[in-house]
Amino acid sequence: MQKRNSISGSLRLAALPIALAGLFNVAHAQQQAAPAAAPTLSAAEKEQAKKIYFERCAGCHGVLRKGATGKNLEPHWSKKLPDGSTQEGGTLKLGQNRLEKIIAYGTEGGMVNFDDILSKDELALMAKYIQTTPDVPPEYSFKETMDSWKVIVPVKDRPTKQMNKYNLKNMFSVTLRDTGEVALIDGDTKEIRSIVKTGYAVHISRLSKSGRYVYVIGRDGRLSLIDLWMEKPAVVAELKIGFDARSVDTSKFKGYDDKYAIAGSYWPPQYVIMDGDTLKPLKVVSTRGMTVDGEYHPEPRVASIVSSEIKPEWVVNIKETGQILLVDYSDIKNLKTTTIESAKFLHDGGWDASKRYFLVAANASNKIAAVDTKLGKLAALIDTAKIPHPGRGANFVHPKFGPVWATGHLGADVVTLISTPSDNPKYKQYKQYNWKVVQEMKHVPGNLFVKTHPKSKHFWADAPQNPEKALAESVAVWDMADLSKPKKVINVAKDSGLPETKAIKRAVHPEYSADGTEVWISLWGGKTDQSAIVVYDDKTLAVKKVITDPKMITPTGKFNVYNTQHDIY
């Protein structure tokens, strides 16, 4: 059986990070040869390929195929070598057969296998498609944004108090990726309370400062506002902010609680500021501009966005440019923005324990950037192992190095621990370690998310993009008292009791219950396979419940209301 090497670029989980590095060793004579002719596609084939590319590839490679976490996928490109010469490359140089194999089986440089996701005809089609010149999608104006705005339940008609008896603090907002839905699951009873139609492949759920509203944004740019106070929680407002999107948050500084919301778009590269309770668009701001290397980029996508609680600011991370924006929302008409240079290509990140510093992965640069939101400047740029992918990361007190923040890696077999500052006098002896990598915990490549909880003595890490089926279906758990090796590697697929299949059931995204006693793991199967959420007792590591409702189709991210509301990770 052919070995499959799999390292994806994000959740963006099913994005197609084809790592072409090292594959373009084209001889000098070949470089001088006339370029190969691109394959031809019918109009129907092109539309089908564009849809697959959007759903599976664009997240890592970009709409224009210029690359980010994944490599450049333009038909022709020139790579500058250390001696100043150039090496000709591009998908045309590889040819149809080689491309089909790369897409099917992956590469050691960072390619997820797609032979159990795409049919043989679809693999051949995508190999042809990426040999053609990419189309430039249309722009998306403020008027088009405004025209998409829908208020389904006006504010005056919404409840003035919670109308259901659910424990909202322990509610989970669960992405059902391929159905374009979010399941709201009661963390106490494990029952699905509501399934809400949203955008395609919701990337994140974010909570309002009050904890009443859930903001969810789909890959297709559809932003939905869910009111948890309704008798049956439902969408009360919608807005389409672009054609491809990932991030959303609200205003959380005192006096601006939930007054505004912000959502970032991958295409067009821009962000939208809205009223927080209606999603009425107020302003659209483009992010096109220069990279930290001084080059213009036509597609600098908005990656993660977080809201500061010490200033009326959002931290907006621009992927391709490596620029971190501190957007002051105290005067929307006269917007003030601080631009902080870090490194390409910015992705996800999370707060340190003090909520003063935001740490974000510049994953293709193998760095973590730390922003001091109090001073409004870069605090540190830390070198790490290959392709850090923190999600929101994880905070805990290390027995030797004090407060640390952790990130896993798509491309390395470690979990990296970085020392973070603290104003607490009891941690002053650890200041010497601040912003240094103090430990690399042994794990496996293909990690997407790490997680712990202030009330837990355990640290969890998944590996859904590992090439080995058994590891992709498992999670590793460390005891905080001994981080030298995992305490246990748990095969979530076996624990679920679901039938064994050839396709991988990826164990992904550990998420704690509000009280820190349970850990929920998504078991993400194919669209036609039964998926599940497996709930573990954090103390004993034993299975407490397997949620296998037929409506539980391709669950991925899970967001506990209380933990998300208060940035507990």
Q: Tell me how far apart the alpha carbons of residues 555 and 510 are, in angstroms, rounded to a whole number.
A: 12
CA proximity to 444, closest of 482, 472, 418? 472
**Residues ≥6 apart with Cβ < 8 Å to 544:** 518, 535, 536, 537
Q: What is the pLDDT of residues 433-468, one digit of tens each?
A: 999 999 999 999 999 999 999 999 999 999 998 989
Catalytic annotation on 453? no
Comparing 9-18, 51-60, 93-102, 422-431, the range with the smallest average pLDDT is 9-18
Q: Tell me how far apart the alpha carbons of residues 195 and 317 are, in angstroms, rounded to a whole number.
A: 31
CA proximity to 285, closest of 316, 322, 244? 316
Summarize the confidence of residues 213-241 as an average pLDDT: 97
CA proximity to 89, closest of 129, 97, 80? 80
DSSP state of 133: P
Domain that holds residue 45: 28-129
What's the structural domain count of the chain? Answer: 1
- Residue 185 near residue 205 (C-beta atoms within 8 A): no
Looking at residue 221, its amino acid is: G
Catalytic annotation on 441? no
The H or E element spanning position 145 is: helix 142-147
Q: Within a domain: residue 77?
A: yes
DSSP state of 177: G
The H or E element spanning position 225 is: strand 222-227
Structure tokens at 274: 């809205």
Q: Tell me how far apart the alpha carbons of residues 384 and 441 are, in angstroms, rounded to a whole number.
A: 13
Residue 86, pLDDT > 70, answer: no
Q: Within a domain: residue 368?
A: no
Catalytic annotation on 163? no
SS3 171: strand
Q: Within a domain: residue 33?
A: yes
Q: What is the pLDDT of residues 121-164, one digit of tens each?
A: 999 998 998 899 888 889 999 999 999 999 999 999 999 999 99
Q: What is the pLDDT of residues 250-284, one digit of tens each?
A: 999 999 999 999 999 999 999 999 999 999 999 99
Going by pLDDT thresholds of 50, 70 and 90, the confidence category of residue 100 is confident
Task: Give Cα 113 distance to the centre of its chain.
Answer: 19
Catalytic residue among 61, 443, 458, 509: 61
In 467-505, the DSSP E strands lie at: 474-479, 488-491
Instruction: For residue 489, give Cα distances in angstroms to 67, 387, 463, 472.
Output: 34, 23, 11, 11
Paired strand residues for 461? 450, 476
Q: What is the pLDDT of residues 458-467, one digit of tens each?
A: 999 999 989 8
Q: Within a domain: residue 350?
A: no
Looking up residue 106, the CATH number of its domain turns out to be 1.10.760.10
Structure tokens at 13: 């989980």
Looking at residue 546, its amino acid is: V
- pTM recorded for the entire structure: 0.86
Q: What is the pLDDT of residues 306-328, one digit of tens each?
A: 999 999 999 999 999 999 999 99
Catalytic annotation on 409? no
The fraction of the chain above a pLDDT of 90, given in percent, is 74
Q: Within a domain: residue 480?
A: no
Structure tokens at 287: 């992010």
Structure tokens at 559: 């967001």
**Residues ≥6 apart with Cβ < 8 Å to 489:** 474, 475, 476, 477
The per-residue pLDDT for 469 is: 92
DSSP 34-102: PPPPPPP--HHHHHHHHHHHHHHTHHHH-TT---SSSPP--SSEEEE-TTS-EEEE-HHHH-HHHHHHH
Comparing 30-44, 211-225, 456-470, the range with the smallest average pLDDT is 30-44
Q: Tell me how far apart the alpha carbons of residues 405 and 430 are, in angstroms, rounded to a whole number.
A: 14
Structure tokens at 397: 């007190």
Catalytic annotation on 398? no
Q: How many degrees, rounded to 5, is the angle at CA 205 between CA 202 and CA 206?
A: 145
Q: Tell me how far apart the alpha carbons of residues 183 and 171 are, in angstroms, rounded to a whole number.
A: 10
Q: Within a domain: residue 239?
A: no
Catalytic annotation on 347? yes
- Residue 536 near residue 507 (C-beta atoms within 8 A): no
Catalytic residue among 297, 347, 453, 509: 347
In angstroms and rounded to an integer, the radius of gyration of the C-alpha atoms of the chain is: 23
Q: Within a domain: residue 20?
A: no
Residue 116, pLDDT > 80, answer: no
Q: Within a domain: residue 36?
A: yes
Comparing 11-20, 187-196, 450-459, 536-545, the range with the smallest average pLDDT is 11-20
